[in-house]
């Protein structure tokens, strides 16, 4: 399955009437010229960070599943992993679209996530299918919690974005439950493995929001 590549050069594609129509942010004009009111810049920066980290997270998740599938090509869990990877590809494509529409730059760390995500997926898969599922449970629990925190802060006027994040959170929880159903908790050193991956994911979120 082809995984979307990082969104480079999106600034050139994002300019124009379509990008302005889809921006979705509040705008104000005076004498036909745009102007910022108090709080506008802070709100725009907050939303930009939100979209940047969500895109980076979905990109990393897609790479994790790609790494798992490279190792577990003919395992009993391969079908489930492929299905989860397909949903992550949809999530990633939507956040790529939103980056362009909102004229938000992607994380500068995407090349790192490209390697690190794949290495995490392949590395856990080499420990066995149960360890791969333990990775899924750990990662998806952090992502679902992260999306829930975003839903608590997104303004009501961001109805479409709220609906998107709500849907994606539900699907991430389905991935989490799939991992549990496939004996994730029976993986070697499950508690240690899960804790390390969860802490790594939270650190990645913090970095992606800022870099």
pLDDT category of residue 10 using cuts at 50, 70 and 90: very low
Please, what's the b/e burial string for 36-48 (b: 16 or more CB within 10 A of its CB; e: otherwise)? eeeeeeeebeebb
Structure tokens at 58: 């979905």
Closest CA to 210 of 6, 65, 52: 52
**pTM higher than 0.85, yes or no?**
no
Higher-scoring residue by pLDDT: 1, 136: 136
Model confidence pLDDT, tens digit, residues 57-74:
999 999 999 999 999 999
- How large is the average pLDDT for residues 197-201? 97
The answer to whether residues 48 and 98 touch, using CB atoms and an 8 Å cutoff, is no
pLDDT category of residue 162 using cuts at 50, 70 and 90: very high
Cβ count near 197 (within 10 Å) = 21
The C-alpha R_g of the chain, in whole angstroms, comes to 18
User: Which domains can be identified in the chain, with CATH numbers?
Assistant: 11-210 (1.20.1260)
The answer to whether residues 120 and 131 touch, using CB atoms and an 8 Å cutoff, is no
| pLDDT score of 200 | 96
The answer to whether residues 71 and 122 touch, using CB atoms and an 8 Å cutoff, is yes
Higher-scoring residue by pLDDT: 58, 8: 58
pLDDT category of residue 201 using cuts at 50, 70 and 90: very high
The yes-or-no verdict on residue 98 having pLDDT over 60 is yes
Model confidence pLDDT, tens digit, residues 144-155:
999 999 999 999
The yes-or-no verdict on residue 189 having pLDDT over 50 is yes
| pLDDT score of 43 | 81
pLDDT category of residue 180 using cuts at 50, 70 and 90: very high
- How large is the average pLDDT for residues 24-40? 47
């Amino acid at each position: 399955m082809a995984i979307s590549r990082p969104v480079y050069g999106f600034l050139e594609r994002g300019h124009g009437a379509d990008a302005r129509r889809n921006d979705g942010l509040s705008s104000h004009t005076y004498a036909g010229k745009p102007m910022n009111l108090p709080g506008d810049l802070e709100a725009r920066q907050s939303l930009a960070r939100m979209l940047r980290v969500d895109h980076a997270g979905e990109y990393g998740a897609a790479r994790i599943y790609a790494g798992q599938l490279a190792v577990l090509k003919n395992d009993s869990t391969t079908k489930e992993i492929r299905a989860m990877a397909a949903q992550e590809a949809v999530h990633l494509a939507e956040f790529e679209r939103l980056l362009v529409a909102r004229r938000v730059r992607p994380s500068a760390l995407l090349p790192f996530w490209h390697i690190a995500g794949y290495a995490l997926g392949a590395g856990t898969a080499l420990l066995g299918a149960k360890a791969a599922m333990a990775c899924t449970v750990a990662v998806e629990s952090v992502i679902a919690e992260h999306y829930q925190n975003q839903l608590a802060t997104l303004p009501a006027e961001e109805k479409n974005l709220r609906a998107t994040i709500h849907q994606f959170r539900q699907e991430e929880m389905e991935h989490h439950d799939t991992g549990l159903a496939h004996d994730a908790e029976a993986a070697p050193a499950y508690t240690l493995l899960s804790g390390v991956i969860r802490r790594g994911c939270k650190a990645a979120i913090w970095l992606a929001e800022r870099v």
